[in-house]
A and B are shown apart, each in its own frame.
Chain A
């Protein structure tokens, strides 16, 4: 279980796991050697609501950094998840087929999307945000969203 940074905005509590890196768009990347596990942040999943379907690019697909890795259909929107790392998809979470609600229930754990074998992880890593930097960015994003309520 990772540790979390946590903030409350309006009535919502948002968590940021401290053991991984983040894109500004709310996608996390957890390095496991040259393999990078990818998922959606707690903020991104709460922002978009209950997941109906998750379509992740299948194993064997080559993705460049920023390419679409998955499309998540929720009760509010279709969310295109951009890969924060370039490489080849080597594993897709089987839960996405039958129980994509895992994204809502456990975004930093059971709700992971895919594992990518990175081509140039050092370069991709340098472009990502550390947990504290993403936490500050996310708080601003959450406060902006709260003003719309």
Chain B
């Protein structure tokens, strides 16, 4: 009567069933999906547009003292005029890599949605524990690691779909893709986001693994979300940050995920060696935290 013959199969079977359960709860609540998209829209619309950094150079009339201008020859005056005309593009490109800030921060928004979705993945395991579903799952032969990894996979799937929607919206709002942009670049960018989300949601699930209070999780999420974003290059390039902040940004995985996505999506030239470093860092990060998540689930999911 028992199901021993199915035991070996239950690993992937249960893994997929649990992932599917989480995803079903998500896509069957369109309001929830909509809400998670609205946030990056607001950021892009309000922050991205309000921080119109390019306008600092074009909207500020710079008048040189007349006697200075008169002392120049006509050729020199034309040269100076061209210099000022190109000033904005030069500074913008050397700061952000592209000549409009909106494109720069729109890619940061991709990281933003991924980070938020990953952070909240810890909440769902707390709910499952409180509602007794976790105990029920634990009393079945499904692999302990599968319980955690199903949460990770569902967070990753959700965040990549949301990131996809954000890319389309950003493009509609005026994000400029790089001239050499192809579908392959898009897939590459999503691969980077995938690794980033895999690591981050494993990390946040590991934090939540023993927790019985969702309030604690909320506090953790609230405490960490903005610092994580601001200590990365998601909204501002890190090489303009003070040294101590730069150091933090170099260990922040969001920096690497955003850089990879930015290089592949909008930057005119791709720095292959930097891109390789990005992927290597993200790969190691994802691997380490996914492993930690699985190991902890063996030990700590049940008491």
Q: Do A and B bind each other?
A: no
Q: Which residues of A come within 8 Å of B, CB atoms?
A: none
